Structure 1
Amino acid sequence: MGGGSFLKLCLTNLLFINLLTGALNTEKFSGYIFDLESGEPIFNANIYIPSQDIGTTSNKKGKFTLEDIIAFPIQIEVSHIGYKPLTFTLKKISLSNKFFLEKKAVVFDELVVTASRSGQYRSKSPILTEVINRKDIESSGSKNIADLLRLKSGIFVQESIGGGETLKILGMDSKYVLIMIDSQPIHGKFNNRASLDQISTENIEKIEIVKGPSSSLYGSEAMAGVINIITNKKYEKSMSIYTRIDGNLKSLSHSNFNSGNNYLGFDLRQPIKKTALRMSANTSNINKNQSVISSGIDQTKKDVIDLGIKYALSNKVIINLAFKNFLQNSERKSKLNEAFSKIGRKNFILTYQNSQFTHSISSSNYFRKYSQKRPWNVLLESEEKTAEELLEYEMNYQKKISSISISSGIEVSQAKYQSNRIKSNNEKMDIFSLYSQFDSEHSSKLSTTTGLRVDSYSQYKSVISPRLALLYNFTNFFKFRSSWGLGFRAPSFIEKYIDWNHEQYGYTIYGNANLKPESSNGFTISFQYDDSKTYNINTTYYITYFENLIESFTISPGTLSYQNVESAIFEGFEIFSKARFSDIFFAAIRLNWLNNKDGMNRTIPNTIPFSFNTKIQFLPSNDIFSFFANIKVVTPYKPQIYDSKEGIFIESKNKITTYALINMTSNIKWGNSIHFSIGVDNLADYTNVNYGPYIGRKIYFQISSKINDRNLQ
């Protein structure tokens, strides 16, 4: 055969191969997805080929079609909410492709991080952790953390006259509960309390709640517990946008959206080889309505920008850079008085992580400006200016040796405070901390946790915080937990150094530089039954002793200061039960009983002895429609108001009668990326102009669109 003939033969073969490849590229692969038990087709199941990064969903007949198959064999992943995922390898195209998914039982277990700083399954953790997952957040219809938590029994959110909202957890003031975002304490507070209405729920993955002293891992403020708000840090390719409006509902047939609120936001995530980017932003306008009038505000505007970059140096070494900016402007205007406040918060964190060590450098900056004047520009009192700064380095070491998980680390930080309401205008404090925790699985039945932390402050003595916890599995279903720990709270800059004459309300308050840290000694015991399929019940008893509580007191009429005088006992009992009645119907109930007393055996002000909430979920397998309802019932109690001039609580003559807060949400999914939500908050329209809740019946509409990795191809 001559060279020319051989060349022609080669070209012919190459052309044939190319045509064959092209034919394969345009080959359609079709199949059907069915329920294994009923044989019914499954709508909206996800079919995905990871190696070629293509995917689709099934239609109402369960049919799907995949195009542009590059090469066989291929690995296919099939998944749907409520079913066990299916993965298989297809070597060639088949004329008949039928796949069956098996329904999965309700999974009550999930990975938690707050109790140990490392990932640990909740069922195996000796420290009881409550989780509010993403589905719970979406079903609540809440747009900020304050609104979300107020739905739960045992947790009460109160509006502050100075602006913002604070909470009580199990009757304890929120200044004794450490609020964190991604395991980092929130820096910058008003009146020593985090303003939870400033934290949007839009980018929250879940919330973990640990009740009881937790200073052995987290230091100051974790006297009564920890609330860890964990954001969505996934970098899968996606793009989403949402908008929402709400308004006061005067009757079920009429609403007034002119005095309501509106929200707009977007989220974008894009992996690029070893780098991944994420960016989200949201803005909200809260117009003149019941929710802001209760705080003496006519209008509030909030803007949030959240940026993140992740770079993988290798499979085990990752660098993360995150930046978040929050800005809030509020105003109140009348014929004789105008008030303006501006709050800003900037957080920056750089993290270097390998298989055992995590190093992080973080910077937090917070400012608050507040002024009051006459409409003709005459100041009613001097403008308040406050700025806080925290610079921190943390090193965390995690190692698993046999059945023992170790989490140890150091924290070095410097806190600065500037305000025209303190004597020197500027104060700072240096903090050095060491901590270590050992989670040991001694056998299939017994697990323990041992932890210790030492915090050294530049302004007073070191504080030592230990913790012990135990988990014992009597059977596969029945568990016993017990934990003990010490907690503390360092005096704030305001409590130590304030020197301010509140002209508008006619009193002066001075700080006390000799204040000692507040301390707590807490014990919890719980029993849990969990069959992992249909039923879960957990009963918990807790008691926490407080010493050296910092309270304000009256030096003379109209003159206040702070001192360590109070002791208190916070005691309570909680029952939580969750059940699956069918494949689509779920229900949960939580009951809380409180018995909180001060050192004189008097009931702690505004303790609500008994409350409970019930949650109902209807989740059809077609994932098109879902319905959620939450009912919170509060039993009678006598409220008390704090008299700032006298430094005491004044008890109301009349009890607040039993009331219920009822919230309902319906969600509709259209296609693969459009979601509609409609909800009603406070259906019974219960309000109390003196003590709250101040927000009456409210209706909201939300539409969102999310295009994930598979739809962006």
Structure 2
Amino acid sequence: MNRKISCLMVISIMGMGVLGGTVQAAENKVAEYVLDPMMVTAQRVEKSDLDTPAAVEVLTNEQLVATGAHNIQEALKFAVGISYQAQGPKGISQGTMNSKIVIRGVEKGTLVLIDGVPLNQSGRYNLDNIATEIVEKVEIVRGGGSVLYGSEATGGVINIITKGTRKNSISTSFGNYGQQNHAINLQAGKLGFSYAYDKLGQVDNISDPAGGKPVGNFYNVTRNENNNFNVRYNFNEKLYLTHTYNQSNAHYVYEYEPQNNAVNKNVIYTVKEHMTQLHFDNKDIKAILSYTNREQNNYSKANKKVGSIYYPKLDSIENAGYNDKTVALDVQKNWKFKKNFAILGFNVQKDDCEYDQNKLTVSTNKLVTSNRDFSRNMYSVYGQYNYALNDASNLAFSARETWTSGTEAEGFSGQNYNKFTPEIEYLYKINETTSAYAKAGQSFMMPTFTQIFGSGNIVGSGDLKPQEGNHYEIGLKRNVNNHAWRLALYNYKIDNSIESKWGSDGVYYTNEDIRNTGIELSCQVKMSKYLNGNWSVSYSNPQKYSTTTEYGDTTIPKWRDYYGKIQLTGGLSYTKEKWSGALNATFLGDRTRDIDAEDDMKPYLFTSLNISYKPKKNSKIYLNVDNILNRQDITTTATSSFYNLGRNFMLGYEYSF
């Protein structure tokens, strides 16, 4: 009862609050709190929030840092309309089972961009590998966005914009659970450089044995390390080159509860990512040439097992992983007329993936290998025409045609796809501080290589269909008396959503429909010169039309609930003279497991506190406290239950020069 009362008290307080507006480290004043920020992602051209016919959110570096998070996965859990999923503490992923940010209930529908370039490869992205230290801001567009950005944007788009010109600084921090974080930012003329190192020590019992496979299996983390590197060179105002490198290592230990914590196996998950981009922008023409490479590797040692009993004797050694490579060119031309505006662009993309698996059985000295190579070409042409009906009304027509060729694995041809996706948007500017909008459009997502051809324990499904969605939304935006009010009502139905099932010979994918109707209300408040606030309330009803059980057996078709229905977010930020602080919280209630039994799940309530003191203009001492209430919340929605980290803190120092 006391815990429930404490939770309600925090939520009530947060109803007055903000997602992290805080002071800039190098200045002794309140960071500018913009009620009508500018953004590019929603329309591919820069527009203010009031002039954008979509539900959007812009989070600055100061706001991200004020959450106390050191990676983007953790920082975004306080955003509006988002469900947080993680395979371990601090948002870490478990190999190819990556942690996710789910927008409006679409699990496989979040497109992540780095400086406008898709990060998703083979249906995966790793936000836990991206340090807040290298990010200038994050732009979030909620709702299907496939028309302007292509496959995978069926739930929404997250555009992570890395730092351009950066201030010189160095920081270090330490905390409990073996936590460390160290970072450096340097700017020398046209060249900017950032590096961040983050470490989490040993954490035991990060999952519930009752939900393990087999039942009784649970996980410990003995180490998790991340290295993040970003460099940018500005040739001139129109041309710049950027390279980002991320590396993570997570050591998981699988144990078995009925046998006095007998070790099942040790697994080291490694991810290495390279992202190189050349950007050209003269306002009329934008072009991006990019290369993205992600290597995901799982190295495991399994102990001997007889029946359901594990013995402390090495049985097998396995090394398996994916190597994804993408080369892409995106060119966009803008035209401005008297009152109208047009965009026309094309995208050419070459995707390659290599899968390698080597398993040695120690007792027989038998080595089994499996190697698969996949490739696909993707082409897109997209456009938008903005037509001013009058001084107050604007109508935008958008369309995209996407098709693939050369889909194959070791010479075996796979299915190629083509899809036309239209969208229409209407914006009515009631006055200078108020606007209303309505939109209707389509989205789609193509199957990945492994879903089509299979690899490892995944059985290929050659007849898998791309998922296709119809999205509808109306909204109202109003800035008045230092308040920024945002209201959105949406509905979507996605046909042939790509869902995983367990079969007798492994995991396979099938098509099922999903749908959702929801409402989002948020408000940002400039309470005073020193105090900022934010709160939001969201309600939705995400459902899935199941025709088979989670184990692939045919069942009576029905719509069933999954994920959560009620979300509350909020916080406060205060800055005066040498002191600043931010308090954040997010609550997700009425949760349902994504399994046949539709088991209820307890709500999660994530909280964080950030306090900093500046003894001098160029120095800062800060304290981050995460999970203030020391709750054990479940961060997954399937059979296995992974937990967040208990109450934890980090104390640090930053020096600017």
Asked whether the two chains share a fold, i.e. TM above 0.5, the reply is: yes
Aligned pair 1:224/2:170, yes or no?
A: no
Which one-letter code corresponds to 1:455 in the other structure? T
Match of 1:261 among 171, 175, 179: 179
Aligned pair 1:592/2:554, yes or no?
A: no
CA distance in 2, matches of 1:696, 1:107: 34
Alignment-derived partner of residue 416 in structure 1:
352
CA distance in 1, matches of 2:489, 2:195: 41
Alignment-derived partner of residue 188 in structure 2:
270
CA distance in 2, matches of 1:387, 1:115: 31
Which one-letter code corresponds to 2:467 in the other structure? E
Which one-letter code corresponds to 2:117 in the other structure? Q
Alignment-derived partner of residue 561 in structure 2:
604
CA spacing shift, 1:466–1:45, aligned 2, 3 Å:
closer
Q: Which runs of 5+ in 1 are unaligned?
A: 1-43, 47-55, 59-79, 84-105, 248-258, 502-508, 642-648, 708-713
CA spacing shift, 1:291–1:307, aligned 2, 3 Å:
farther
Match of 1:116 among 40, 43, 67: 43
CA distance in 1, matches of 2:558, 2:524: 35
Match of 1:683 among 621, 624, 628: 628
Aligned pair 1:240/2:174, yes or no?
A: no
State the shift of 1:374 in Å: 4.9
Alignment-derived partner of residue 167 in structure 1:
101
User: Does the CA-based 8 Å contact 1:126-1:447 persist in structure 2?
Assistant: no
User: Identity rate of aligned residues, in percent?
Assistant: 19
CA distance in 2, matches of 1:117, 1:123: 15
Cα-to-partner distance string for 1:329-353 (whole Å, 9 max, x where unaligned): 2224586633222211111112333
User: Does the CA-based 8 Å contact 2:106-2:154 persist in structure 1?
Assistant: no
Match of 2:445 among 484, 489, 499: 489
Larger radius of gyration: 1
Deviates more, 1:179-188 or 1:539-548: 179-188
Where relative contact order (Cα < 8 A, 6+ residues apart) is larger, the structure is: 2
Match of 1:307 among 210, 231, 255: 231
Alignment-derived partner of residue 25 in structure 1:
none
Aligned pair 1:614/2:543, yes or no?
A: no
CA distance in 2, matches of 1:141, 1:201: 10
Q: How many residues align?
A: 566
State the shift of 1:498 in Å: 1.1
Cα-to-partner distance string for 1:591-639 (whole Å, 9 max, x where unaligned): 111112223553333x21112012112233x3x2112111223334343
Paired residue secondary structure (2:168): strand
State the shift of 1:442 in Å: 4.1
Aligned pair 1:561/2:508, yes or no?
A: yes
CA spacing shift, 1:202–1:545, aligned 2, 3 Å:
same
Alignment-derived partner of residue 14 in structure 1:
none
TM-score by length of 2: 0.80
CA RMSD of aligned residues (A): 2.8
Cα-to-partner distance string for 1:288-330 (whole Å, 9 max, x where unaligned): 1269778643212211221111112xxxx63211112112222
Aligned pair 1:389/2:325, yes or no?
A: yes
Cα-to-partner distance string for 1:227-269 (whole Å, 9 max, x where unaligned): 111122126xx4111112222xxxxxxxxxxx33101110111
Which one-letter code corresponds to 1:270 in the other structure? A
User: Does the CA-based 8 Å contact 2:561-2:598 persist in structure 1?
Assistant: no
Paired residue secondary structure (1:425): strand
Alignment-derived partner of residue 336 in structure 2:
400
Alignment-derived partner of residue 436 in structure 1:
383
User: Does the CA-based 8 Å contact 1:292-1:298 persist in structure 2?
Assistant: no
State the shift of 1:543 in Å: 0.7
CA spacing shift, 1:233–1:638, aligned 2, 3 Å:
same
Which one-letter code corresponds to 1:517 in the other structure? P
Which one-letter code corresponds to 1:409 in the other structure? G
Alignment-derived partner of residue 178 in structure 1:
111
State the shift of 1:518 in Å: 0.8
Alignment-derived partner of residue 62 in structure 2:
135
Which one-letter code corresponds to 2:343 in the other structure? S
User: Does the CA-based 8 Å contact 1:349-1:360 persist in structure 2?
Assistant: yes
Paired residue secondary structure (1:541): strand
Deviates more, 1:393-402 or 1:367-376: 367-376
CA distance in 1, matches of 2:232, 2:496: 42
CA spacing shift, 1:656–1:426, aligned 2, 3 Å:
closer
Alignment-derived partner of residue 671 in structure 1:
616
Paired residue secondary structure (1:683): coil
CA distance in 2, matches of 1:558, 1:497: 15
Aligned pair 1:425/2:343, yes or no?
A: no
Which one-letter code corresponds to 2:197 in the other structure? T
Aligned pair 1:536/2:464, yes or no?
A: no
User: Does the CA-based 8 Å contact 2:443-2:468 persist in structure 1?
Assistant: yes
CA spacing shift, 1:383–1:443, aligned 2, 3 Å:
same
